[in-house]
Amino acid sequence: MNVLSWGSWIFRVLERAWATELQLSTYAAMGVGRGWNDCG
C-alpha cells in the first residue's frame, strides 16, 4: 500500500467520524431546543 492510498483512507475515516459527531451534536441541540427532555 502506498502513502497516497493510506492518506486518502485515513482522511475518509476522519471525515466520516467528524460528520457523525457534527450530526449528533446537531441532533442534541435540536432536541434541547424543542424540549426533547420533557418528552422523556
Q: Per residue of the chain (40 residues), give pLDDT as tens.
A: 688 899 999 999 999 999 999 999 998 888 877 775 565 5
pLDDT at 2: 84
pLDDT at 21: 94
Decide if 31 contacts 37 (C-beta within 8 A).
yes
pLDDT at 32: 79
Cβ count within 10 A of residue 18: 10
pLDDT at 39: 59
What is the SS3 string spanning the chain? CCHHHHHHHHHHHHHHHHHHHHHHHHHHHHHHHCCHHHHC
pTM over 0.85: no
